[in-house]
Structure 1
Amino acid sequence: MERRRGGLRHPGGPFLAAALAHPRWGLLRAQLRTARANGIPLSTLLHGGRPKWRRTDRALQVALTLYEDSLCTCGHPRDRAWNDDSDGHWEVAEHICQACAARDRARTTEGKRPDGSHVGIYDADPDRELRPMA
């Protein structure tokens, strides 16, 4: 946060946004998004009580917005993803959602469905132990 006489000049400035980009702050980003989705300050989400927007709450919300604005549509920071020096440093990992795959198979094998129909997805064996994802 940049300071000047009389208080904060730009609460939640680039410094906080850059800090939020670090993987260690993933939980804080999730908490900030949850607070924003509920229209409450982070301090209220964490501690309860009546919503009161404190300077820290405002600064962190601005920082979250700056952080999100710095991302490419793929979710990676533009300053790295769009940097020519990063060419060749990205790898693609394909993951298959087995629930979506089952839904897609049902759609293609059962032909055309009537308008308004919905294909639901459920776990037929929710208690089955699965290997941890790599």
Structure 2
Amino acid sequence: AYLRKIGADTIQVKTLFSNTISMYSMRAQIVAHAELYRNNAISAVKLQDKNVRVLASQAADELLSIQGVEASFVLYLEENGVGISARSMGNVNVQVIMEQLGGGGHQTMAATQLKGCTIQEAKEQLLLILEAQENEN
């Protein structure tokens, strides 16, 4: 409604944000494989696609729409290791979590890349950090 109010062509906007059916399917696969850990949604996938980083960030955003989820983390394979895309509704500072894994970002959007690491190892590191944070609170 806001875009229409300022004169934007809403059809053109939809076209800019459209995906192929393949990308939509892969994003749905990432969301479907998510597990809940306390108030976090975590999805670890082994997709091999040139758009995996974009898909991971989109899926992390989408996982926040699940009731009770305050932060989401999508782990995906990269050329030399594992990437993690993290999102939050604001109550969880994902920047601090990603910094502990060598990354960074913003309180509600952050990421990291773990070189020479498997998805399982990355997930275990993430879970340790989330558990430690839970114990602090």
TM-score relative to the length of structure 2 = 0.23
